[in-house]
């Protein structure tokens, strides 16, 4: 089974939503983890907007990228444009993409909804790519 890492600055909003979608849409197809350049918390509004569409991310944790081994992952996705700050070994996976999505933290809930929906579409495409 292929392994996927989502990474963001603080692992609180975008990467957490992406992890939730990938676990749901890629169930039994891929293993998914998310992390941040630094660990923080899972943002309560990210939890809320995912729960509204039936995806529970309350059991997810915010973890630091340094706690993981890049050799254990087939695909790495940066959600915030932080790809330029990642150690080289993370960028050299079979699949590496830098999605550069807006950070919804501190913005109106409509931004969370928009970014959530953008993430869902991108995760669905990514899962298809990983299955090839």
Confidence of residue 84 (pLDDT cuts 50, 70, 90): confident
97, containing H or E segment: strand 95-98
pLDDT tens for 117-132 read: 999 999 999 999 998 8
CA 81/CA 39 separation, integer angstroms: 17
Domains and CATH numbers, the chain: 2-131 (3.40.50.2300)
13 in catalytic set: no
The active-site residue, picked from 8, 13, 47, 77, is 8
- Give the pTM: 0.96
Structure tokens at 48: 């809320």
Residue 83: predicted pLDDT: 81
pLDDT tens for 2-18 read: 999 999 999 999 999 99
CA 112/CA 94 separation, integer angstroms: 30
The active-site residue, picked from 17, 80, 86, 115, is 80
User: Strands of 95-98's sheet, edge to edge?
Assistant: 30-36, 2-8, 75-78, 95-98
């Amino acid at each position: 089974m292929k392994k996927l890492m989502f990474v963001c600055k603080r692992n609180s909003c975008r990467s957490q939503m992406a992890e939730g979608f990938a676990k749901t849409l890629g169930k039994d197809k891929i293993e998914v983890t998310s992390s941040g350049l630094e660990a923080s918390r899972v943002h309560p509004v990210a939890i809320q907007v995912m729960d509204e569409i039936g995806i529970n991310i309350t059991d997810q944790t915010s973890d630091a990228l340094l706690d993981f081994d890049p050799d254990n992952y087939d695909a790495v996705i940066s959600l915030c444009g932080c790809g330029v700050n990642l150690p080289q070994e993370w960028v050299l996976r079979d699949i590496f993409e830098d999605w550069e999505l807006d950070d919804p933290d501190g913005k109106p809930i409509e931004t969370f909804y928009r970014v959530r929906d953008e993430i869902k579409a991108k995760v669905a495409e990514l899962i298809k790519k990983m299955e090839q």
